[in-house]
């Protein structure tokens, strides 16, 4: 009896804490509305990405436990998303429909209070943001298994948009089907990238089935729900959204399978102290030309984390180089290096400075 009474007392205390939390959330929302009035009068940015990042970093550093540090960002992301929606609902363009990995990445960055505009192509996402029908877009840029998304890189050659943030999303694929046995499946639907990432598993377990490509994993889930003797490779989140059972989990060939997304918008955020800068340039032809272009980064103690080359579509046999470096474009050493790179290049463009993405495995409720 004593344990039951103690349990009831503890639950009452939890209820009281929850009520205080709710009261504090409403106080926070009221303060956000006041801030919104001032920002509107001053015509300043209503959404300040670097301010959000600073809040995350401060709260993680202040946390003394036992509340898990890794839970702080997703919880406060939703708090900030809900509060911001009282000021203005963010419109975010991404590859649709519901429950694509692009949609999941968008939720991870902006929370579920944002309004998502679904498109069928990366080019359409750029168009939505450029025409200001969306505040931001979320585009895939690189997968740890399949490499870079070349179309996204190509779009930046002429687009005026900037990179505002990056999202690192762990990609875990599941086989979704209304059938309980693999031998009953005759057709497997999925996006080409997902099929490539599960190639060995499919060959081993569903060699008898026909593989068909569709434009998204979410569309694959919908087809598997509508058609008999079919299955889809998609996320568990898609299974929940579309009400289709999970037949097999974690069927990706590489268990360390991450996709990197870029958040694109009209303006890059200010410095956060833990930033990355992306840029592109073309070089003059000659012996040692590329080495000469990269030398300013070494001389200014700048860590170059990635380099990728693409054919320049407008000039046959010429290449555009895309690179990522650590730091913000406002940092003195980066300013100095970029000035040297600009002098040595035929073409140079800074794509944006933004907070480094944090690798995170999405939970079942937010995949």
Residues near 51 by beta carbon (within 8 Å), at least 6 away in sequence:
none
- Whole-number pLDDT of residue 147: 79
Cis ω before 97 (30° cut-off from 0): yes
In order of their start, the domains of the chain are 23-85 (1.20.59.10), 92-171 (3.40.190.10), 174-248 (3.40.190.10), 275-355 (3.30.70.260)
Distance CA 110, CA 140 (A): 16
Task: Quote the pLDDT of residue 286.
Answer: 63
* Bridge partner list, 359: 168
Q: Quick one: which H or E segment has residue 265?
A: strand 258-265
pLDDT of residue 265: 96
pLDDT exceeds cutoff 80 at 318: no
pLDDT value, residue 361: 45
The encoded tokens of residue 213 equal: 């490509």
Q: So which residues are the catalytic ones?
A: 259, 261
Residue 191, φ and ψ in degrees, nearest 5: -70, 145
Q: How far is CA 242 from the centre of its chain?
A: 22
pLDDT (0 to 100) of residue 313 = 67
- As a whole number, the mean pLDDT across the chain is 90
The whole-number pLDDT of residue 236 equals 93
Nearest to 105 by CA among 190, 149, 165: 165
**Which of 275-290 are b and which e, b meaning 16 or more Cβ less than 10 Å from the residue's Cβ?**
bbbbbbbbbeeeeeee
pTM of the model: 0.86
* Straight-line distance from the first to the last Cα atom of the chain, in angstroms, rounded to the nearest whole number: 42
- Separation between Cα atoms, residue 201 and residue 177, nearest integer Å: 16
Q: How many CA atoms lie less than 13 Å away from 72 in the CB half-sphere?
A: 20
Mean pLDDT computed over 289-295: 82
| pLDDT tens per residue across span 214-242 | 989 999 999 999 999 999 999 999 999 99
106-129 pLDDT tens trace: 999 999 999 999 999 999 999 999
Q: Let me know how long the chain is.
A: 367
Contact 258, 358 (CB under 8 A): no
Residue 316, pLDDT score = 65
pLDDT one-digit tens code per residue, 345-358 = 888 899 999 999 87
pLDDT tens digits along 131-190: 999 999 999 999 887 778 888 988 998 899 999 999 999 889 999 999 999 999 999 999
Helix (H) or strand (E) holding 6: helix 2-42
Q: What pLDDT does 363 receive? A: 41
pLDDT-derived band at 315 (thresholds 50, 70, 90) equals low
Q: Which residues pair with 260 in a beta bridge?
A: 142, 168
């Amino acid at each position: 009896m004593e344990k039951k009474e103690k349990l009831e007392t503890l639950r009452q205390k939890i209820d009281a804490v929850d009520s205080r939390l709710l009261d504090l959330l409403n106080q926070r929302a009221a303060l956000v509305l006041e801030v919104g009035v001032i920002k509107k009068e001053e015509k300043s940015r209503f959404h300040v990405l670097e301010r959000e990042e600073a809040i995350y970093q401060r709260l993680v550093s202040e946390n003394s436990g036992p509340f898990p540090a890794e839970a702080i960002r997703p919880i406060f992301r939703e708090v900030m998303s809900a509060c911001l929606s009282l000021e203005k609902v963010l419109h975010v363009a991404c590859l649709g429909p519901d429950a694509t990995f692009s949609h999941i990445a968008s939720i991870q960055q902006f929370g579920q209070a944002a309004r998502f505009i679904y498109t069928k192509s990366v080019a359409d996402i750029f168009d939505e943001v450029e025409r200001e029908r969306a505040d931001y877009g979320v585009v895939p840029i690189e997968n740890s298994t399949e490499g870079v998304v070349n179309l996204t890189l190509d779009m930046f050659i002429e687009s005026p948009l900037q990179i505002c943030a990056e999202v690192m999303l762990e990609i875990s694929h599941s086989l979704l089907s209304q059938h309980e046995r693999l031998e009953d499946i005759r057709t497997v639907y999925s996006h080409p990238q997902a099929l490539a990432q599960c190639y060995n598993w499919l060959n081993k377990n569903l060699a008898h089935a026909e593989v068909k490509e569709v434009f998204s994993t979410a569309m694959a889930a919908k087809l598997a729900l509508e058609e008999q003797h079919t299955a889809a490779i998609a996320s568990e989140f898609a299974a929940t959204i579309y009400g289709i059972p999970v037949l097999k989990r974690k069927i990706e060939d590489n268990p360390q399978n991450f996709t990197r997304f870029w958040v694109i918008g009209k303006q890059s955020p200010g410095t956060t102290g833990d930033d990355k800068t992306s840029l592109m340039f073309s070089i003059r032809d000659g012996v040692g030309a590329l080495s000469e272009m990269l030398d300013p980064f070494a001389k200014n103690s700048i860590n170059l984390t990635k380099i990728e080359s693409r054919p320049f579509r407008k000039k046959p046999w010429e290449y555009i180089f895309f690179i990522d470096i650590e730091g913000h474009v406002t940092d003195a050493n980066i300013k100095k290096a970029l000035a040297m790179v600009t002098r040595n290049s035929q073409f140079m463009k800074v794509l944006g400075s933004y907070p480094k993405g944090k690798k995170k495995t999405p939970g079942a409720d937010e995949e």
